[in-house]
Amino acid sequence: MDKALCIGLIGYKFMGRAHSNAWKKAPLFFDLPCNPVLKTVCGRHAEALGAFAKQWGWEQTETDWRKLVNDPTIDVIDIALPQHLHHEVVIAAAKEGKHIFCEKPLAMSSRQAEEMWQVCENRGVVHYLNHNYRRVPAIALAKRLINDGKIGRIFHWRCAYQQDWIVDPMFPLTWQLDKNVAQAGPQWDLNSHAVDLAHYLVGEIKSVMALTANFVKERPLADESSTGNLQGKARGNQMGKVSVEDAALMQVQFVNGAIGSFEATRFATGRKNSLTFEIYGSDGSLTFNLERMNELQFFSRQEELVQQGFRRILATEPVHPYTDHWWPAGHIIGYEHTFVHAVADFMEAIVSKGSIEPNFRDGWQTLRVLEAGLESAKTKQQVLL
Ligand code: SOE
How far does residue 193's CA lie from ligand 1's centre (Å)? 9
How far does residue 306's CA lie from ligand 1's centre (Å)? 42
How far does residue 202's CA lie from ligand 1's centre (Å)? 22
How far does residue 239's CA lie from ligand 1's centre (Å)? 25
How far does residue 27's CA lie from ligand 1's centre (Å)? 25
Burial (Cβ within 10 Å: 0-12, 13-18, ≥19) of residue 318 = exposed
Q: Answer yes or no: do 119 and 195 share one domain.
A: no
How far does residue 190's CA lie from ligand 1's centre (Å)? 7
Q: Answer yes or no: do 53 and 85 share one domain.
A: yes
Q: Which atom of ligand 1 is nearest to the CA of 186?
A: 2
What is residue 271's predicted lDDT score, i.e. its pLDDT? 98
Could you tell which of 21, 83, 165, 193 is best to mutate to test the pocket of ligand 1, judged by most ligand atoms within 8 Å of the CB?
A: 193
Tell me how far the alpha carbon of residue 75 is from its chain's centroid. Answer: 22
Phi, psi of 239 (to 5 degrees): -100, 155
CA distance readout (Å), 59 to 20, 42, 68, 226 = 12, 11, 13, 26
Rounded Cα distance, 165 and 261, in Å: 23
How far does residue 285's CA lie from ligand 1's centre (Å)? 27
The predicted complex's ipTM stands at 0.96
Q: Where are the alpha helices (DSSP H) in the chain?
A: 14-29, 46-56, 65-70, 86-95, 110-123, 137-147, 179-182, 186-189, 191-201, 335-351, 360-379
CATH of the domain at 272: 3.30.360.10
How far does residue 229's CA lie from ligand 1's centre (Å)? 9
Q: Which atom of ligand 1 is nearest to the CA of 335?
A: 10
Under a CB-based contact definition with an 8 Å cutoff, are residues 186 and 373 in contact? Answer: no
Q: Which atom of ligand 1 is nearest to the CA of 104?
A: 8
DSSP string for residues in 317-381: STTSTTGGGSSSTT----HHHHHHHHHHHHHHHHHTT---SS-HHHHHHHHHHHHHHHHHHHHTS
Q: Answer yes or no: do 128 and 261 share one domain.
A: no
Q: What is the DSSP letter of 75?
A: -
**Of 234, 145, 235, 251, whose CA–CA distance to 195 is shortest?**
251
Q: Which atom of ligand 1 is nearest to the CA of 14?
A: 4
Q: Name residues whose C-beta falls within 8 Å of residue 229's C-beta, 6 or more positions apart in sequence.
A: 13, 14
Instruction: Detail the DSSP E strand segments found in 167-283.
Output: 205-213, 218-228, 231-241, 247-254, 259-265, 274-281
Q: Which atom of ligand 1 is nearest to the CA of 163?
A: 2
Q: Answer yes or no: do 111 and 170 share one domain.
A: no
Q: What is the CB < 6 Å shell around ligand 1?
A: 163, 189-190, 193, 230, 273
Task: Give the amino acid at 224.
Answer: E
Q: Answer yes or no: do 317 and 178 share one domain.
A: yes
CB-CB neighbours of 112 under 10 Å: 22
Q: Which of 91, 113, 133 is the last residue of a domain?
A: 133
Q: What is the DSSP letter of 37?
A: E
Rounded Cα distance, 367 and 44, in Å: 28
Q: Which of 133, 150, 168 is the last residue of a domain?
A: 133
Q: Answer yes or no: do 82 and 173 share one domain.
A: no
Instruction: Give how many domains the chain has, as a whole number.
Output: 2
Q: Answer yes or no: do 103 and 241 share one domain.
A: no
- Model pTM above 0.95: yes
Could you tell which of 188, 273, 274, 293 is best to mutate to test the pocket of ligand 1, judged by most ligand atoms within 8 Å of the CB?
A: 273
Q: Which of 105, 133, 161 is the last residue of a domain?
A: 133
User: Which residue puts its alpha carbon closest to atom 5 of ligand 1?
Assistant: 189
Helix, coil or strand: residue 36: strand
CA distance readout (Å), 216 to 182, 248, 263, 267, 374 = 17, 14, 18, 10, 18
Per-10-residue mean pLDDT, the chain, length 385: 90 97 98 97 97 98 98 98 98 98 98 98 98 98 98 99 97 96 98 99 98 98 81 89 98 98 98 98 98 98 98 98 97 98 98 98 98 98 98
How far does residue 15's CA lie from ligand 1's centre (Å)? 9
Q: Name residues whose C-beta falls within 8 Å of residue 173's C-beta, 6 or more positions apart in sequence.
A: 219, 220, 221, 222, 240, 242
Q: Answer yes or no: do 144 and 214 share one domain.
A: yes
**Of 96, 102, 101, 103, whose CA–CA distance to 123 is shortest?**
96
User: Which residue puts its alpha carbon closest to atom 4 of ligand 1?
Assistant: 230
Rounded Cα distance, 163 and 186, in Å: 9
Specify if 380 maps to a domain.
yes
**Of 80, 44, 73, whose CA–CA distance to 59 is shortest?**
73
User: Which residue puts its alpha carbon closest to atom 11 of ligand 1?
Assistant: 273
Rounded Cα distance, 104 and 271, in Å: 21
What is residue 1's predicted lDDT score, i.e. its pLDDT? 56
Domain that residue 292 falls in = 136-351+366-384
Specify if 356 maps to a domain.
no
Q: Which atom of ligand 1 is nearest to the CA of 132?
A: 10
